[in-house]
Chain A
C-alpha cells in the first residue's frame, strides 16, 4: 500500500486535523494539570511535506532539539514522537520544578528525567484521545529522549513515512502559558499495517 498525503481531500485532512486537535488538546490539559497553570493552545496545524523540503522547513536544521519517542503496541503498532526546541523544553522544565529560573539549554540528569516524564504524559494523553476516537486499545512504551540536530531527529519519522510514500505528515501544536510560548510538534507514526487500519476506522480511506 502506498499513501499519498498530497491526494487527501479537505474532508480527510479535517479528520486528521481533528485527531491532532483532540490529541494535542488532551496533552496540553494534562500538562496544565501537572504544573497547575492555565495553558492556551492554538488550533494545531496539520502539515504535509516532501522529504527534500524537510531540512529547509526547519528554521535551523542543525540546531539541537529535544525529541521524545514512545513505541505503541496493541491494536495499532508504531511510534509517536514529540519534538520541541530546547527553549520550550527549558520553559516546561522550569514550570515543572516551579522555582527554577534557569535559561540554560543543557539539561542535567534530573531535568532529563523530568523531560521524559513530560513526554510520557503528553504523548500518553495524545494516544488516549486517539484510542477514544477509534476504540482501539493502544499501549505506550517507556519514553526515550534524544537531544540532537533537528533534521537528524526528524529522520526517524521521515524514514517510517518513507516506507509508505513520498511525504511526511505531522501536527504542529503551539501553546502558551502567560507570555511563554511553547512550540511542539507531534508525529504519529503507525507501522505500515496499522496505517490502513487507522485511516479506515477514521473514515479517511474507504
Chain B
C-alpha cells in the first residue's frame, strides 16, 4: 500500500518508497516535485514566494523557493537519496485573476516559477517536465514508483507529466 502524505501550503516533505505526496489546489504557488530513481525517494515542496531575501525575518523556510528546495534536497539525502541523480518536475504558478493594470505582486506566479527554475539550476538538478502558468488551479500527486506526477484541474481534467 502506498502511503498518502499531504503537503500543506508553505510546507515540504520527503519520504521513501512506497508513498504518494499530495498537495491540494496550487494557485500561484509552485509545487516542486523531486524524485531520485535508484532509491525511489521523493520530495515535494509547496512554495508561496520566490525568495527569502524579500522577508526580513525568515521564520518559515518552507515558504520560499530558495530556502525550501535546498532544505528538501537535504532531507532527501538524509533519507539516503543520491544527490547527483535527483530529478525535478514543476507545476503551478498560475495567475488566478487576469489583471492587467496591477503591480507585480499579482504576477507572483510567474516569479515563483522563474525562482524555482533558478534554484534547481544552481543545485544542478534537471527539470524533466513541467506544467506551469495559465490561469487555473492544480492539485498534484507525486508517486514514488516511477516519479510520475499527476495533475488534476477543474477545467482540463487529469494529466500526468
Residues of chain A having any CB pair with chain B under 8 Å: 1-2, 51-56, 61-62, 64, 67, 69, 71, 79, 141, 144, 146-156, 158-160, 162-163, 165-166, 191
Query: Contact partner of A61 among B10, B25, B54, B63, CB < 8 A?
Result: B25
Residues of chain B having any CB pair with chain A under 8 Å: 6, 8-11, 23-29, 48-49, 54-57, 59-60, 63, 94, 96-99, 101-103, 105-106, 108, 135-139, 152, 154
- Decide yes or no: A62 and B49 within 8 Å by CB, A52-B11, A53-B8, A160-B105 being known contacts: no
Neighbouring A residues of B28 by C-beta, 8 Å = 155-156, 159
Cβ–Cβ contact A153 & B27, under 8 A: yes
Cβ–Cβ contact A163 & B54, under 8 A: yes
Cβ–Cβ contact B97 & A51, under 8 A: no
Cβ–Cβ contact B101 & A71, under 8 A: yes
Cβ–Cβ contact B96 & A67, under 8 A: yes
Given contacts A141-B101, A149-B27, A191-B105, 14 further A-B contacts (CB under 8 A): A53-B8, A54-B9, A55-B8, A62-B25, A64-B154, A144-B97, A147-B154, A150-B25, A152-B27, A155-B25, A158-B9, A162-B48, A165-B59, A191-B103
Neighbouring B residues of A147 by C-beta, 8 Å = 154
Q: Which residue of B lies closest to A156 (CB)?
A: B96
CB distance from A28 to the nearest CB of B (A): 24
